[in-house]
Chain A
Amino acid sequence: MTIERRTVVRAVLVFVVAALAVTLFSAMTAQGATVSDSAVSSDISMTTTTVDIDPPDDAASEPAPTSYSGSNRFLQSIVNGLVFGLLLALASVGLSLIYGTTGLSNFAHGEQVSFGAVLTYFFATQQPVSLPMIPVSFVIGMPLVPAALLAIAVAGALGWVQDRYLWSRLRKRRVGLVQQMIVSIGLSLAILNFIQWWVGGRRLRLTPDIDPRYQLGPVYLGEQTLISTGIAIACLLGVGFFLTQTRRGRATRAVSDNPSLAAASGIKVDSIVRLVWVMAASLAAVGGILLALYENGTAFDAGARLLLLMFAAVTLGGLGHPFGALVGSMVIGLVTEVSTVWLAPDLKYAVALGILILVLLVRPQGILGRAERVG
């Protein structure tokens, strides 16, 4: 995999320009940075929408408390980045698998993430909950772990249903990939608003417990964070094991590589794709739940906000390359978190986007991807 010199030069140039711009910008903003957490966004007029609530202003969504002493901030942000990267990977591996096996850029994947988290809230919370259109509210109040397991199962089932009744039919009708992508956008809009209709726009906490914090050397980690990280690593290892060591996993990779060749060599592409959908949906739910624990809460649009980062991660690693999604997520996680050492947290996403554009310029097929053939 050789990279041309010309492209490297171009990349360095872009990087320098971007770095200058960002430095300038942050120097400008540093003067007027009197951060006041006034989230003024509650218009209910018809044309304005409150659907997307901005993360940077939302103090509760900032996982890294900024009160650590300066010298440890860097290490702390690296640790935060690694943790966030792992959780992001969990959510985006499925996106990448779906892309690899079907060619679909699934814009509704973010909603799968929120769905898992919101469903866990629904099962676990001590608050009264209700279902849309049904004027009865009730309390389920299951313990967190069974609630999460149940939510993951339901989310996986939703993945199965989606593929069975929607995507597999579209593939059978030979609906083009662009059209399928637009369908996924419609689906994302529908699910997103359904969830909002269901649980409202509030921030939802999965557990009322206060998370005890431990000091490990120079960094702090919450107990829930540690457990979440453990679970994430276990899940990712499981996916890795599945893809490399089992027959179905190898078949999945064969389908990713070349679906028609795989079909010709006797692999049942449709059932592999069905499996991938179930896996992707459940992994997204796991990711959503763990992120909700890590960030101390979730909301109907948690996944929608994450979608941008997931796409960045997947593109970065190479669209359709499952291990690429892991690499890409770690990079995105690290870079976004570490950037907060120098930049205002509102620029976190800008940094992720900058990296994405940079990578597209230098190596459009992503870190691990391959070029496509013409003609």
Chain B
Amino acid sequence: MSSTDPFVKVTPEPGAPKPDPIVVAHGVKRQFGGLTAVDVAHFEVQRHAITALIGPNGAGKSTFFNLLTGFDSPQSGEWTFNGHSLAGVPSAKVARTGMVRTFQLTKALNRMTVIENMRLGATDQVGENFFAALVPGLWRQREADITAQAHELLERFKLYDKRNDFAGSLSGGQRKLLEMARALMSKPELIMLDEPMAGVNPVLTESLLDHIVELKAEGVTVLFVEHDMHMVRRISDWVVVMAQGKVIAEGPPTSVMANPAVQDAYLGAHHDTDLPEEL
């Protein structure tokens, strides 16, 4: 993988600037009634790296994902993807610019088959236009390509045998996998995974971690939310910690947990997070 670590010159502090940021957010603030769910002063994601976003429950991680991807809009703030401002851009357009996300609560399309779920993730299918849809000749070829691509991904995610089953009949973990595979169908530049491994069995988790690292090798940038520190330490290049809506710490996975602010945040919120070995 990358011979030189892009993070060597980055100071491990909240909102640290990165050498080659793909996402930059500034002053993003979201309130629900009186509760400030997200209040991020500055936040950058390094291109071609795996960044983990961690924090206690209710820290605002999912809400921040929603804001960045246009599923929710903040009261104030600016953020860019590849230098283009995304404030006020609808979620579908955000996805089309190459920034694709998955959801914490899985959103499999239950009454569609696994393979149809996958095909839906693909881009550039002219048959998705109403008039083109009437003329199969226009989209048959693309459909075959998409299907081949889908089969490949399904193999990788151990879902190939399930391809003709309804997604609703899959187990919870399998649905997570399907959602992730579906997001990859569009060959995104940045993939944002909200707790991708929650409920996936350990053996499969291992092989998936390898896939995520492979993605990085293929040039995809990964931003993911995860509570499992083992996983975070194994694959991430950089860790961002949120608590009560704010970014309270950043740093390499090996040292960030030693930061007193992080320990306060976790111990203040929950005494039973899997921190102890870190301390």
Contact = CB atoms under 8 A, between A and B. Distances in A.
Contacts of A1: 33
A375 B65 CA distance: 9
B71 interface: yes
Nearest to B103: A375
Contacts of A2: 75
A15 B158 CA distance: 55
Contacts of B72: 374
Contacts of B71: 374-375
Interface in B27-78: 32-33, 62, 65-66, 71-72, 75
Chain A residues touching B, range: under 10
A371 B103 CA distance: 18
A375 B105 CA distance: 6
Nearest to B73: A4
Interface in B2-50: 32-33
Interface in B95-110: 103-105, 107
B33 A375 contact: no
Nearest to A371: B32
Contacts of B32: 370-371
B194 interface: yes
A370 B31 CA distance: 12
A370 B33 contact: yes
B33 A374 contact: no
Interface in B73-125: 75, 103-105, 107
A370 B105 CA distance: 21
Majority secondary structure of chain B interface residues (helix, strand, loop or mixed): loop
Contacts of A371: 32
A178 to B, nearest CB: 13
Contacts of A375: 62, 65-66, 71, 103-105, 107, 194
Interface string A1-23: 11000000000000000000000
Interface in A1-48: 1-2
Contacts of B33: 1, 370
A48 B62 CA distance: 54
A358 to B, nearest CB: 21
Contacts of B194: 375
A370 B62 CA distance: 19
Nearest to B104: A375
Nearest to B65: A375
Q: Which one of A2, A370, A375 has the greatest number of beta carbons of chain B within 10 Å?
A: A375
Nearest to B31: A2
Nearest to A2: B75
Interface in A49-77: none
B59 to A, nearest CB: 15
Interface in A336-375: 370-371, 374-375
A43 B103 CA distance: 55
A1 B33 CA distance: 6
A1 B71 CA distance: 19
Contacts of B103: 375
A168 B275 CA distance: 44
Contacts of B65: 375
Interface in B105-164: 105, 107
Interface string B171-193: 00000000000000000000000
Nearest to A375: B103
B66 A374 contact: yes
A374 B104 CA distance: 10
A2 B30 CA distance: 12
Nearest to A374: B71
Contacts of A370: 32-33
A2 B34 CA distance: 11
A212 to B, nearest CB: 50
Nearest to B107: A375
A1 B31 CA distance: 10
Nearest to A4: B73
A261 B194 CA distance: 23
B179 to A, nearest CB: 11
B148 to A, nearest CB: 30
A374 B101 CA distance: 13
A365 to B, nearest CB: 12
A1 B62 CA distance: 22
A374 B63 CA distance: 8
A375 B66 CA distance: 8
Nearest to B88: A6
Contacts of A374: 66, 71-72
A160 to B, nearest CB: 34
B61 to A, nearest CB: 11
B138 to A, nearest CB: 34
Contacts of B107: 375
A362 to B, nearest CB: 15
A371 B30 CA distance: 13
B194 to A, nearest CB: 7
Interface string A110-144: 00000000000000000000000000000000000
Contacts of B75: 2
Nearest to B62: A375
Nearest to A1: B33
A368 to B, nearest CB: 12
Of the candidates A1, A371, A374, the one having the most CB atoms from chain B within 10 angstroms of its own CB is A374
Given A374-B66, A375-B71, 4 more contacts: A1-B33, A374-B72, A375-B66, A375-B194
Interface of A: 1-2, 370-371, 374-375
10 contacts: A1-B33, A370-B33, A374-B66, A374-B72, A375-B65, A375-B66, A375-B104, A375-B105, A375-B107, A375-B194
5 shortest interchain CB distances as A-B pairs:
A375-B103, A374-B71, A374-B66, A375-B66, A375-B62
